[in-house]
Amino acid sequence: TGWTKSSQALGTTTAAGGNTAGTVTGYNGYYTGDVNDANTAGYWPVPANGSTYFAQCNDDYAGDFCCEERLITPSLDFSGQDSIMLIFDVFHDKNYGSGDGIIEVSTDSGSTWTQLLTLTPDAAIWQTVFLSLDTYSDSSNVQICFYWNDGGDCTLGGDNWGTGLAIDNVTVAKILT
pLDDT tens series, the chain, 177 aa: 899 988 776 544 443 444 444 343 445 678 888 999 888 878 889 999 999 999 998 877 655 567 788 999 999 999 999 999 999 999 999 888 778 899 999 999 999 999 999 999 999 999 999 999 999 999 999 999 999 987 776 665 556 777 889 999 999 999 887
Q: What is the pTM of this model?
A: 0.86
Per the CB < 8 A criterion, the answer to whether 82 and 133 are in contact is no
Contact 56, 165 (CB under 8 A): yes
- The identity of residue 151, as a single letter, is G
Q: Show the CA angle centred on residue 35, arms to residues 29 and 41, nearest 5°.
A: 70
State the Cα–Cα distance between residues 31 and 75, nearest whole angstrom.
20
| pLDDT score at 97 | 74
132-135: list long-range contacts, CB under 8 Å, 24+ apart. Answer: 132/84, 132/85, 133/78, 133/84, 133/85, 133/86, 133/105, 133/172, 134/82, 134/83, 134/84
Check residue 9 and give its pLDDT: 61
Neighbours of 132 (CB within 10 A): 13
CA-to-CA distance for 11 and 64, rounded, in angstroms? 10
Which of 131, 99, 129 lies closest to 114 in space, CA to CA? 131
